[in-house]
Amino acid sequence: MDKNTPLLEVKDIVKRFGGLVAVNRVSMEIYPGEVVGLLGDNGAGKSTLIKVISGVYQPDEGEIYFEGEKVNINNPMDAIKLGIETLYQDLALAENLNVYSNIFLGREKVKSLLGMIPVLDHEYMMEESRTVLSHLGIEIPSLKNRIKNLSGGQRQSVAISRSVYWNAKLLILDEPTAALGVTEQKKVLDLVRTLSSQGVAVIIISHQLYDVFQVAHRLVVLRRGEKVGERLTKETNSDEIVGLMVGAELVEGGR
């Protein structure tokens, strides 16, 4: 795909809940390999917008384009088929299963025993999982470890690896560094950089402005359901972004 063509483009998206307008004519785009920070205070509309993109909600107005074509994302499976994967804070991992079983969760590889009995192909799933983890520079001592025995950062890495293995083109990360220690935060941010270098686009939602500034190429700010600003990260600072978030927009340097 041409890197000058947006991977995802949303145009004038509106989402209402009764008399409440949660998202009001928001437009944004993201290009292959780009990391975009989606920022805003609580109630700004960030979660609603990503749920529209990921098929949880359907927009009341507006259009969505993916890889240059208009698409209707009616449910999360439609989004996944396009290559849009969303990781919420709960990560949707099965804690009692091991690493490779989670990467293949719901899409298990089966082989035939004696030509007639279907059984899980553990060797295949383990080897494939080891390959994708290595590809992303992720180190987990044993892929037979249960998820519940892993650190928060390792769990995040497993969830991201699962998305990448199943050909995610756009990864939406909701508060990926929340509740992680400093060392693990760095590992997750390094992983975001790796994804970007390999052409995977990433939308990152976080209240940790420092983290977003570390990895995002561009920042989109929402307030009260509307897009109030968009900046190249290298051309702004946290004071200006906070000003946009809370409504005290700075005049100097604004566009």
Which CATH number covers residue 230? 3.40.50.300
pLDDT, position 3: 67
Query: Across residues 17-44, what is the average pLDDT?
Result: 95
Average pLDDT for residues 180-206, to the nearest whole number? 93
In a domain, 175, yes or no: yes
Q: Is 72's pLDDT higher than 90?
A: yes
Token pair of 73 as six digits:
């994302």
Asked whether residue 196 is assigned to any structural domain, the reply reads yes
Q: Examine residue 130 and state whether it is found in any structural domain, yes or no.
A: no
Range of the domain at 222: 8-94+168-246
Q: How many Cα atoms are found within 13 Å in the side-chain-facing hemisphere of 103?
A: 27
DSSP string, 159-202: HHHHHHHTT-SEEEEESTTTT--HHHHHHHHHHHHHHHHTT-EE
pLDDT digits (tens, 9 = 90+) for 122-156: 999 999 999 999 999 999 989 999 999 999 999 99
Band the pLDDT of 220: cuts 50, 70, 90: very high
Supply the pTM of this predicted model.
0.89
Residue 152 covered by a domain = no
User: Predicted confidence band at 207 (pLDDT cuts at 50, 70, 90)?
Assistant: confident
Return the higher-pLDDT residue of 116 and 225: 225
**Residue 26 in domain:** yes
C-alpha to C-alpha distance for 133 and 151, rounded to whole angstroms: 16
Query: What per-residue confidence (pLDDT) applies to 4?
Result: 78
In the chain, what's the furthest Cα-to-Cα distance? Answer: 73
Report the run of H or E that residue 242 belongs to, with start and end. helix 238-246
Residue 194 pLDDT greater than 90, yes or no: yes
Mean pLDDT within 195-217: 94
Give the whole-number percent of the chain exceeding pLDDT 90. 80
Domain membership of residue 128 (yes or no) is no
How many angstroms separate the CA atoms of 157 and 184, rounded?
Answer: 10
What is the number of structural domains in the chain?
1
Q: List pLDDT tens digits, range 226-251.
A: 999 999 999 999 999 999 999 864 44
pLDDT at 89 exceeding the cut of 50: yes
Distance CA 98, CA 119 (A): 17
Q: What mean pLDDT comes out for the span 180-198?
A: 92
How, if at all, do strands 35-39 and 218-223 pair?
parallel
Quickly count: other Cβ atoms within 10 Å of residue 219's Cβ.
24
Average pLDDT of the chain to the nearest whole number: 92
The CA-atom distances, in angstroms, between 26 and each of 63, 74, 155, 231 are 10, 19, 32, 15
Per-residue pLDDT band at 90 (split at 50, 70, 90)? confident
Position 162 in a domain: no
Q: Is residue 71 part of a domain?
A: yes
What pLDDT shows up at residue 98? 95
H or E segment and range at residue 87: strand 84-87
Q: Which tens digits make up the pLDDT trace of 37-68?
A: 999 998 899 999 999 999 999 999 999 999 99
Query: Whole-angstrom Cα distance, residue 206 to residue 204?
Result: 6
